[in-house]
């Protein structure tokens, strides 16, 4: 800690702090972390940069909670956290190592058509255009894939897709698989636009999103729209700006 940074401290703290508080700041790093958690707005950030220290996990949670507060009105992050025990599940940053995706290229299921495969690939590409820290690349061999998309005839409940992912103890998603049905439960074939929309929805789950009551979002439980909304993109961007794990 330099003399210059010490001199910055009173400015960063503002005039409301007492001498006792100052002493606790100089005492130990845990105190500092706790106090920066109490600081609001940009104050906390200035305190941190004044000390030029390595941020710890608690700092990350404080920063994350601040980001969430700022984004609550423009995203459905609150609904996701309510479903996920106040925790964020997401893939680790993989900017240089895309997730490998295998889409089952053929099927003997009635009404199967390669156009469905194309619709799913386009859905992955749409999410990819958001330039998240997670990218997708398609592979021809399922053994090489992190993500598998398989076709089923229909589900025994009124759904058209299902995504299962697993995560590690750090809430980082490690693999995911998507099932897509060619038929509604009553036997009617999904049209290509509907398949595209369901694929967008399931890939949203794969990325760590959950349902929202916003019916104009692709992540509504019953998908009514056919494309990603601004709220969808803002929410997934927020998730990938947050650390994985509990935020309480
Ligand atoms: Zn869903």
Q: What is the per-residue pLDDT across 137-150, written as a single tens digit (0 to 9) for each? A: 999 999 999 999 99
Res 53: pLDDT: 61
Res 190: pLDDT: 97
The verdict on 29 and 92 lying in the same domain is no
Cα→Cα distances 32→9, 58, 59, 60, 65, Å? 12, 11, 10, 14, 18
d(CA 113, CA 180): 13
pLDDT class of 54 with cuts at 50, 70, 90: low
pLDDT class of 55 with cuts at 50, 70, 90: low
The verdict on 109 and 222 lying in the same domain is yes
> 211 C-alpha to center of ligand 1: Å?
6
118 found inside a domain: yes
Of 233, 116, 90, 98, the C-alpha closest to 171 is 90
Res 52: pLDDT: 54
> 6 C-alpha to center of ligand 1: Å?
51
> 219 C-alpha to center of ligand 1: Å?
6
Q: Work out the burial of residue 87: count CB atoms within 10 Å of its CB; fewer than 13 is exposed, 13-18 middle, 19 or more buried.
A: middle
The tens digit of pLDDT for each residue in 199-226 reads 999 999 999 999 999 999 999 999 999 9
222: its two tokens:
């019953």
The verdict on 194 and 138 lying in the same domain is yes
Cα→Cα distances 174→38, 96, 166, 177, 244, Å? 34, 16, 6, 11, 12
> 162 C-alpha to center of ligand 1: Å?
7
78 found inside a domain: no
80 found inside a domain: no
The tens digit of pLDDT for each residue in 225-244 reads 999 999 999 999 999 999 99
> 199 C-alpha to center of ligand 1: Å?
10
Q: What is the mean pLDDT of residues 188-195?
A: 97
Our count of domains for the chain comes to 2
Q: What is the mean pLDDT of residues 23-52?
A: 32
pLDDT greater than 90 at residue 122: yes
Q: What is the mean pLDDT of residues 85-89?
A: 93
pLDDT class of 95 with cuts at 50, 70, 90: confident
The verdict on 207 and 139 lying in the same domain is yes
Phi/psi zone of residue 245: left (φ > 0), alpha (ψ -120 to 50 degrees), beta? left
List the alpha helices (DSSP H) in the chain.
Answer: 3-13, 19-27, 29-38, 43-51, 57-71, 77-83, 114-128, 192-207, 230-239
> 248 C-alpha to center of ligand 1: Å?
25
pLDDT greater than 90 at residue 20: no
User: By the 8 A CB rule, do 124 and 203 touch?
Assistant: yes
pTM above 0.75, yes or no: yes
The residue segments making up the domain with residue 27 are 3-54
Res 61: pLDDT: 83
pLDDT greater than 50 at residue 18: no
116 found inside a domain: yes
User: By the 8 A CB rule, do 238 and 66 touch?
Assistant: no
């Amino acid at each position: 800690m330099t003399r210059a940074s010490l001199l910055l401290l009173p400015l960063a703290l503002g005039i409301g702090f007492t001498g006792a508080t100052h002493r606790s700041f100089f005492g130990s790093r845990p105190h500092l972390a706790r106090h920066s958690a109490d600081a609001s707005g940009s104050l906390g950030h200035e305190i941190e940069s004044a000390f030029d220290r390595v941020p710890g996990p608690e700092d990350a949670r404080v920063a994350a909670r601040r980001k969430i507060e700022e984004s609550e009105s423009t995203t459905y992050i609150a609904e996701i956290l309510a479903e996920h025990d106040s925790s964020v599940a997401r893939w680790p940053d993989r900017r240089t190592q895309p997730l490998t995706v295998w889409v089952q290229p053929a099927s003997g299921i009635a009404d199967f058509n390669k156009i469905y495969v194309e619709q799913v690939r386009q859905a992955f590409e749409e999410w990819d255009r958001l330039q998240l820290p997670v990218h997708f690349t398609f592979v021809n061999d399922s053994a090489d894939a992190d993500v598998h998309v398989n076709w089923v005839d229909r589900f025994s409940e009124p759904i058209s897709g299902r995504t299962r992912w697993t995560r590690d103890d750090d809430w980082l998603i490690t693999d995911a698989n998507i099932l897509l049905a060619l038929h509604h439960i009553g036997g009617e074939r999904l049209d290509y636009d509907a398949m595209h929309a369901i694929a967008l929805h399931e890939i949203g789950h794969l990325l760590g999103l959950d349902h929202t009551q916003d019916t104009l979002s692709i992540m509504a439980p019953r998908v009514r729209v056919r494309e990603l909304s601004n709220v969808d993109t803002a929410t997934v961007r927020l998730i990938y700006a947050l650390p994985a794990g509990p935020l309480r």
